[in-house]
Amino acid sequence: MTVTRLVPGLLSPPRWAVRAAHAVALVTLPSGVWRLLLAAGFTAGYTGTGYEAMGFTGWGAVYVVGLGMAGELLALLTLGLVRPWGEVLPRWIPLVGGRRPDPRMVTVAAGLGAGVLTLGLAQFAFWWAFPHPDMTPGGNTLAGFLYLPLVAWGPLLAAVTLDYRRRRRRRRHRRVAGAGPVRPCRRTAHSACSRGQQHRAQAGFSPGGGGGSGTGDYSLAPDRP
């Protein structure tokens, strides 16, 4: 006989937050691909003299590639705010694998990062307001469009961080409001107990009697017989 148990879990992130987190991982791609072209030996909008002056060969190429990869990895970390691996770090990560990061530290780090990125990358919104004599006219226009998405990185990260903080606070408040263990009941074809628990889970009520908003704070998971 199968036993159904209400398992407490995190509030599910709203759809807009999930989309915003994925958008962060995309805004760094255009400029990252452009850097790869520069490291591969393409002038990619620079004049011949300008390309040589920028030093995109040798160690300069390594720096450009590393900068692009670091930016993309940092952007991908935003997904941890809306994905399970952000709650429990993957075990393959050295030293910290399998641990739960402190939500307060995550919120502070992400918030500071959002502020720094917003201030530091806002300059690309004014790319065409400044002369770039080391680039061709077409290259100057193209580079401006490739870097323009970076302006949205900071605001998107800030929005996802605020939602992460909101969900963590609501989870903590529900833990305080709800008390008492969850009683398992046997699930049968006409089990009123199971149906009652399922309705309460869908409505967002906590097992301890606290009300909810139906945001998916609990999920149904079958236990062993």
Please tell me the pTM assigned to this model. 0.69
Tell me the CB-side half-sphere exposure of residue 102, using CA atoms within 13 A: 4
Top pLDDT among 173 and 77 is at 77
Top pLDDT among 106 and 188 is at 106
Contact 220, 4 (CB under 8 A): yes
Residue 199, Cβ neighbours under 10 Å: how many? 10
Chain center to CA of 153: 11
Residue 151 predicted with pLDDT over 90: yes
To 10 degrees, what angle do helices 153-177 and 15-27 make? 150
Contact 11, 215 (CB under 8 A): yes
> 26-60: per-residue pLDDT in tens?
999 999 999 999 999 899 899 999 999 888 888 99
Enter the tokens of residue 164.
């992460």
| DSSP strands (E only) in 75-174 | none
Top pLDDT among 208 and 9 is at 9
> 175-199: per-residue pLDDT in tens?
544 544 444 444 444 444 445 555 4
Contact 154, 119 (CB under 8 A): yes
For residues 62 and 102, what is the distance between their CA atoms, to the nearest angstrom? Answer: 34
| Nearest Cα residue to 28 out of 65, 79, 68 | 68
Residue 217 predicted with pLDDT over 50: no
| Nearest Cα residue to 97 out of 106, 109, 88 | 88
The alpha carbons of the chain give a radius of gyration, in whole angstroms, of 24
Q: Sign of torsion, CA 129 135 139 142?
A: negative
89: DSSP letter: -
| Nearest Cα residue to 26 out of 87, 79, 62 | 79
State residue 220's pLDDT score: 40
